[in-house]
Amino acid sequence: MPWQKNYDQTEVLEKAMKAFWAHGYEATSMSDLVKATGINRGSIYAAFPNKRELFIRALEYYDQVYRRDHLQQIAALNTPREAIIAVFESAACNPPDSGRPWGCLLVNTALELSPHDAEVGAFVDRSLQAVEAFFHCRIESAKQEQSINPELDSSDTASALLGLFLGLRVLTRAKSRQATIDAVISQARMMLE
């Protein structure tokens, strides 16, 4: 009789993602993943050939939910200029009842694995380029609405905003002082004046 899974794969990815997000790839053992997902080791290996494959699938899930879907939602709810600020404000807070670790799994992965894993590095790079493209698109739209300086260099500003955003994600992971985090958001606002 063929093996049948008795779990929701999206739920498993969500739980595995949070374990990797909280502890990193190397520090998350298969025992940690069994505990986090609530399914046994055999079921994990039946669905994912190894820990790395589970990590990549969890990273893809994170990218869909916490980058693509999140940015689309922000864009839909805000003017172009305010969408950029909303991205920073959203990154600066982590509601206690969210169950999410601090920081950003993409940034954590960039620091931990990208220098040593070309496939993961390329994935992270594409995702971060998409964030930069989001900023660029919003800047261009804000120029058309005349809500920011039309002389602002869209490409340079989008690149600088990405750097500032990545710094913010590292600061939130480190649970830095709120004044430092507020200063980063304030700087993002000033860049768009």
| Domain span holding position 104 | 59-191
Domain count, the chain: 1
Phi-psi region of 19 (alpha: psi -120 to 50; beta: other; left: phi over 0): alpha
Q: Whole-angstrom Cα distance, residue 170 to residue 119? A: 22
Q: In this structure, is residue 29 part of a structural domain?
A: no
Q: In this structure, is residue 2 part of a structural domain?
A: no
Q: In this structure, is residue 130 part of a structural domain?
A: yes
φ, ψ dihedrals at 83, nearest 5°: -65, -40
Q: In this structure, is residue 163 part of a structural domain?
A: yes
Alpha helices in 63-177 (DSSP H): 70-77, 80-92, 105-112, 118-145, 154-173
Q: In this structure, is residue 109 part of a structural domain?
A: yes
Q: Residues, the chain, total?
A: 193
Look at the pTM and tell me if it is higher than 0.85: yes
Question: Residue 3 has what pLDDT?
Answer: 47
Q: In this structure, is residue 47 part of a structural domain?
A: no
Question: Residue 161 has what pLDDT?
Answer: 98
CATH number, domain containing residue 179: 1.10.357.10
pLDDT by residue for the chain (193 residues), tens only, comes to 344 456 688 999 999 999 999 999 999 999 999 999 999 898 888 889 999 999 999 999 999 999 999 999 999 999 999 999 999 999 998 666 677 788 899 999 999 999 999 999 999 999 999 999 999 999 999 999 999 999 999 999 999 999 999 999 999 988 888 999 999 999 999 999 8
Question: Residue 6 has what pLDDT?
Answer: 64
Q: In this structure, is residue 34 part of a structural domain?
A: no
Only one residue has tokens 């993602």, namely 17
Question: Residue 1 has what pLDDT?
Answer: 39
Q: Which two tokens stand for residue 163?
A: 């750097």
pLDDT digits (tens, 9 = 90+) for 120-142: 999 999 999 999 999 999 999 99
Q: In this structure, is residue 38 part of a structural domain?
A: no
